[in-house]
Structure 1
Amino acid sequence: MNDIDPKALFRLSVLGPLVSRERLGRGELQLIVRQLARQEYAIPGSRRRYISEKTLQAWYYAWRRHGLAGLSDRPRTTAGQSKLPAAIQSAVLAAKRENPRRSIRQIRLLLEAAGLVPHDTLSRCAVHRLLKAHGLSRIASPEVVPEEKRSFEAEHAGSIWYGDVMHGPTLSFGGRRTKTYLVSLMDDASRLIAHCAFCPAETALEVEGVLKQALLRRGIPVRLVVDNGAAYRASTLQGICARLSIRLVYCRPYAPEGKGKLERWHRTLREQFLAELDGSHIRDLADLNARLWAWVEEIYHRRPHTSLAGQTPLARYQQDLPRIRLLGPLAAQLDELFLHRISRLVRRNGTVSWAGRYFEVPYELSGQRVVLVVSPHTATVVRVESDTGQLLGAATPLDLVANTHRRRQRPAVAPATAAISAGPNLIELTHQRHYRLED
């Protein structure tokens, strides 16, 4: 008896509301498909979380025609059999064997130039299938070798951290639907979660907030491996890592296997935390994160992992505590390290704007470009600096009402001085000449 294709079982489970119905009324198919397309799924072998309506309909009709077998990815019965004419097949194979570095595009152009096929009629897919069937689809050259990929693990805790963002649940907070994103930092050697939190967005600000808490709790990693998303490419995050001597490493695009341990963590969180989460007790993000942190500390960190030879992540991490670089004196400077610096032009009324608010700076800076040192997490302006880092003064929130009673500074008037008699005066000379006063 053949094993059932796991993908077919998954697809059948997705189509449950459809296949369980004996008959669908008019318009019900589209309605149910639309509802299914809005849901999130843990799709086997994929990082995607949603399935399009077109794909769902294709699965449904395949199930209607062939049952469960229609939902499996079975190999083509015509695999290796080309529908191209024998003469064209021979020409394609001969062209490839003559020059193994020829691409499919070059082979098509060559056959068109030789008059063997009309222009733009030779299917690229047909050529690819033919070459693949004869073992010629890959470029045969000594310079081209398959990429070597090997499993690895950091020798000590604190050597490598991984960072990533996972799409979290959409919950109702105060009658408003809110999409959440889980930002996580994981230690490679111990699988310990340095810190994680559900956030309302996946921007650099949320990543920096999670990193700050992770540094306070688990020390400073040697390397931080992240993907190429905009949140991780932010100059502010790069600056923080540079000041803390953290080597920021970016994974290659479209290579999720580089962070397989984090993918496994996401799967565990979905299966064990999100599956048990009761949304009726969640009033806001603070409630959600409180439950997340309790589950991480009490269950995930204390459960033996087979990949750790039966050790728990917490025990494996504590085993390397003497090797971990702790913040130490840097803890007192951590807030300063996470401040952002933003260039602004001071208006003629001595104010600058940031985050939709106005702040007053020393009035003598009017018309000059300054650097605002801000705390993005508390939405406050700490001070004003020059481009070189010189302190220029404080910044206070603009209070229009208070300014009606504020005493203005006026420039001092220079004292009257005796008339300067040295040298001729153009106005006086003109006056004397016009009225002939010199007579």
Structure 2
Amino acid sequence: MSHPNAALTPRHRLKVARLVVDDGWPISEVAARFQVSWPTVKRWVDRYLTGESMHDRSLRPKISPNKTPKAVTMRCVSLRMRLREGPVQLASRLGIAPSTFHRILTAARLNRLSYLDRATGEPIRAYEHPHPGSLVHVDVKKLGNIPDSGGWRYVGRRQGEKNRSATPDKPKSKWGNRKLGYAFVHTIIYDNSRVAYTEVLDDETGVTAVGVLRRAVEWFAERGVTIERVLSDNGGAYRSFLWRDTCEALAIKPKRTRPYRPQTNGKVERFHRTMADGWAYARCYQSEQERRDALEAWLHHYNHHRPHTACANNRLSRD
């Protein structure tokens, strides 16, 4: 591609050369017609005669004596992945400038430690399936139920314990405290655009997980999405025969992550973190029911209005 201020495009350069070589036009007349200098016309005529391309040549030099050796570059990448230190610390090990080390890391897309997996030190390999429904992620987030009048996160530990003890219709533990239990947030989010289907229930058994899956399939189908695969962790509900048989009946292929590798299911894990910040602990709820009632509005905002950086800041026009 020619530079923005070029007088001749590659197509016109070829036309200029053909007028001179094939049609016998004088170089001065061709230069006047196209409003360029005669050396410019001569340049493209010479390239045409030698069979060269009419496109701009690269300005990169053929020889770079001061270029960092390939062995040093590979050593820089290896140290970054293994030690996960900064350019200043690692550059001193190799006796090179920190700016040179940073340039090498930038070229290798390792200039940020967040690009490396914490467990293995290897570059994070992001993946995304090509179309909606090709893969959905499923997981459960466990949240402590909120006592009436607010929990300890907002009212403090002492007042939180008083609110907990005063919450009615809850059994007491042997220490006299009310056992509020947990809320289990079941989420199914599809890989292509991070659109999420979420329900808050009172357990995470196989029967409950299967019910969520069936309702999610219907919810996605209403939006024109057919689920083909579902990826889960190795929880008991997802290892059960009931889950396997339900997936088979719905024509869904079940897949599970490798043990102790939650990163594989990272999209739904990241959603749960966003949900905790934006909904679960966003403000002081006066009861657990009030928090659950607020989920629908927050989920609508997440799916339809909130820009998503992983999807080029698109909203659910991405659905």
Q: Please report the TM-score for the alignment, with normalisation by the length of structure 2.
A: 0.49
Larger Rg: 1
Q: Which has the higher helix share?
A: 2
Q: Which has the higher strand share?
A: 1
Q: What TM-score do the two structures reach when normalised by structure 1?
A: 0.36
Structure number with the bigger relative contact order (C-alpha 8 A, sep ≥ 6) is: 2
